[in-house]
Structure 1
Amino acid sequence: MLEAIPTDIFATNFRLQQQNNLVGEVDTSVFREKARLELEEGTYELYREGRFSGDFLLERNGNIVARATKPRALQNRFEVELPNRNLVLRKLSVFSRRFGLFEGEKQIGSIYPAGIFTRRANIDLPADWPLATRIFLFWLAFLMWRRQKQAAAS
């Protein structure tokens, strides 16, 4: 399992650990839905195509690696296109911050906070998937958590 750990108490950046080994870092933008992912294999860009609409993309060296569409603005659900796979990432309950990843009707993974009062997150997705893909899915869940927090504060 992969774990996302905030770099400090107020940061929106995360260190990514797997079996207590640092495997990468995500630097998220405070004002826009974009981030930079630093892994041993290179740098990835995570961003939304448009400022307020459009698909969410994972890109490396100008090539789109993964794409997610949010079909409805008020739903916590993404339709995700990976090479040779179409998946759905959706919130499992109105009362929970846990997201489930589904291939057809079968749940194949989840992303969830490590506790009630923490911003740490567990990324429980197939370990044989590329690291960048798993982190892209975490970033999508993180965006929904951040939107929820902003809505609650207003």
Structure 2
Amino acid sequence: MIHCYPRNLFSRQYDAVAVPGGALGEVNFRAMTEQGSIVWDNVEWQVTKHGPASGYWTLSRGKEYAADAQKDSAMKRHVRVETKDLELELRPRSVFTSTFEVFDGQLRVGVIKRANVFSRRSYLEFDAEVPELIQLFCFWMVRMLWRRSQNG
């Protein structure tokens, strides 16, 4: 399990802590854009959106590619995340909750949820087959969707 905590009340930076285990990395969001970075294992990975109206993001470091994400419809909160080994889909549990479930085909492999309805703290519970970097990228995408819904 990974816990993600905002650095302070107004921060766009989150500390990611493995439970048990301790510090894991950080997740950062840039102001006024849908881009950011993930620091994992002391290596910084960039989250890049390809075009202001596109629904396509990549997670990369230099020429090294880790994953991409595609949001096919502006009307739905579904996101596909693909790596060389995995094809995941992030889906909201229901229209009434902020909890997202992560599926590999029909098999649920993870859950991303807020600590409570008023909190920005989040919990990530994934099967061991999903690498931690990809878990953090999934959290980055879900947090971006939460921010979109808060902004209206």
TM-score normalised according to structure 1 size: 0.92
Report % sequence identity: 27
SS in 2 for 1:44: strand
In structure 2, the partner of 1:133 is: 134
Q: Are residues 1:42 and 2:43 paired? A: yes
**Cα distance between partner residues in 2 of 1:101 and 1:113:** 15
Map 1:75-94; keep pairs closer than 5 Å: 75-94=76-95
Residues 69 and 81, structure 2, Cα contact 8 Å, conserved in 1: yes
Map 1:5-154; keep pairs closer than 5 Å: 5-19=5-19, 21-151=22-152
Over the aligned positions, Cα root-mean-square deviation in angstroms equals: 1.3
Q: Deviations over 1:31-82 (max 9, x none)?
A: 1111111222411001211122141111122222101111111100011211
**Cα distance between partner residues in 1 of 2:67 and 2:119:** 28
**Cα distance between partner residues in 2 of 1:130 and 1:67:** 14
SS in 2 for 1:124: strand
Note the residue ranges of structure 1 that are not aligned, 5 or more in a row. Answer: none
**Cα distance between partner residues in 2 of 1:113 and 1:16:** 14
Amino acid at match of 1:55: Y
Find runs of 4+ consecutive structure 1 residues off by over 3 angstroms: none
SS in 2 for 1:16: strand
**Cα distance between partner residues in 2 of 1:139 and 1:118:** 16
Note the residue ranges of structure 2 that are not aligned, 5 or more in a row. Answer: none
